[in-house]
Amino acid sequence: GGGGFSFQNLKKSWHPQTLRNVEKVWKAEQKHEAEKKKIEELQKELREERAREEMQRYAEDTGAVKKKDEKLDWMYQGLGGMVNREEYLLGRPVDKFILDKMQEPESGPSTETGLLPGSIFNSSCASSALDIANKIREDPLFMIRKKEDEKKREVLKNPVKMKKIRELLQTSLDKKSKKKKKEKKKRRKERRASSSSEEQGSSGDEDHGRSSHPTSVVRRKLSAEELERRRLEMMEDAKQRERDRESNVHRYKQEEDKEREKDQQKKESKFLHNMKLESAATSSLEDRVKRNIHGIQRTSAALEKNFMKR
């Protein structure tokens, strides 16, 4: 016992197992729980208030309940609604307006209270606010809209989903911007190509190396002699290009013929070589000796010699 007491005394003030610190932690937890409950109650009240407002708004949109305009309510209150009650406290004489206000409404069976016998079976009886709320609550369209709103709120409260949505939106925007840039670049290239082709067609071969950008310089009108001279130059250039083309075609044709002849010679030499190899492989020693007799024994003196020796 004494050892434990001395151990408790030896603990530091910041030690988590001291009674004072344990009590502080417990009080803080209780306070946190109370604040959490209060926040949950406030959130519940806000949700209920929002649901009532949504039901009221939906009822007004569908026409089940007339829209209230608080700014114009005074127009329908009559003369009694315009009387200020504080004036009676300041000495205004009592009149019928204040007497009517002080009278208690009838609580018995009457047409106003709707407590007459058989009134529950009357179809023309006005629906109460509770019936209207039940009808709105049971409406499938209202339930669908409510579920959609709840899903939207969940998505807005979830940072991961919001991040994914932002990324998807960013990627779609990037794709659209890239597509627009490509289309713009393509249109710019087409315009440049069309302008360069028009400029080359109008200026001829002399202006072939110029830029394809359209220029704002006003060209001088050519005379008949200059037009004729340019026409002759263009015709001469066309003839020269035709001659060059024919010479190139003739040269290419000759090169192809030479290559074809070389290939044919290679094929023939290879064919003869293969035939020799085949005959050498299939023939015997006797056939080869008989085939070479005319070269070995050409004279009568050669008959006396051994033809098998070289």
Would you say residue 300 has pLDDT above 70? no
Looking at per-residue pLDDT, the higher value among 31 and 282 belongs to 31
Would you say residue 142 has pLDDT above 90? no
Task: Please tell me the distance from the alpha carbon of residue 193 to that of residue 199, in angstroms, as a whole number.
Answer: 10
Residue 219: the pLDDT is 66
Which of 171-175, 221-225, 260-264, 279-283 is predicted least confidently? 279-283
Would you say residue 149 has pLDDT above 90? no
Q: What's the pLDDT band for 248 if we cut at 50, 70, 90?
A: very high
Q: What's the pLDDT band for 245 if we cut at 50, 70, 90?
A: very high
Residue 124: the pLDDT is 47
Give per-residue pLDDT as tens, 95-135.
Answer: 766 666 655 555 555 555 555 555 555 544 445 666 777 77
Q: Average pLDDT of the chain?
A: 73
Task: Please tell me the distance from the alpha carbon of residue 94 to that of residue 88, in angstroms, as a whole number.
Answer: 7
Among residues 113, 111, 86, 88, the alpha carbon closest in space to that of 99 is found at: 88
Which of 12-26, 205-219, 273-287, 291-305 is predicted least confidently? 205-219
64 neighbors 135 (Cβ within 8 angstroms):
yes
Provide the Cα torsion 133, 137, 142, 143; round to 10°: 160
Query: Which residues, in sequence order, are CB contacts of 82 under 8 Å at separation 6+?
Result: 74
205 neighbors 234 (Cβ within 8 angstroms):
yes
Residue 29: the pLDDT is 93
Which of 25-34, 137-146, 236-245, 284-293 is predicted least confidently? 284-293
Residue 293: the pLDDT is 66
Q: What's the pLDDT band for 309 if we cut at 50, 70, 90?
A: low
Give per-residue pLDDT as tens, 39-69.
Answer: 999 889 888 988 888 888 888 888 776 766 5
Among residues 55, 201, 79, the alpha carbon closest in space to that of 139 is found at: 55
- Please calculate the CA angle 269-272-278 and round it to the nearest 5 degrees: 140
Query: What average pLDDT does this structure show over 211-230?
Result: 70
Task: Please tell me the distance from the alpha carbon of residue 98 to that of residue 81, in angstroms, as a whole number.
Answer: 11
What residues does each domain of the chain span? 1-68+131-139, 230-285
Task: Please tell me the distance from the alpha carbon of residue 299 to that of residue 294, in angstroms, as a whole number.
Answer: 10
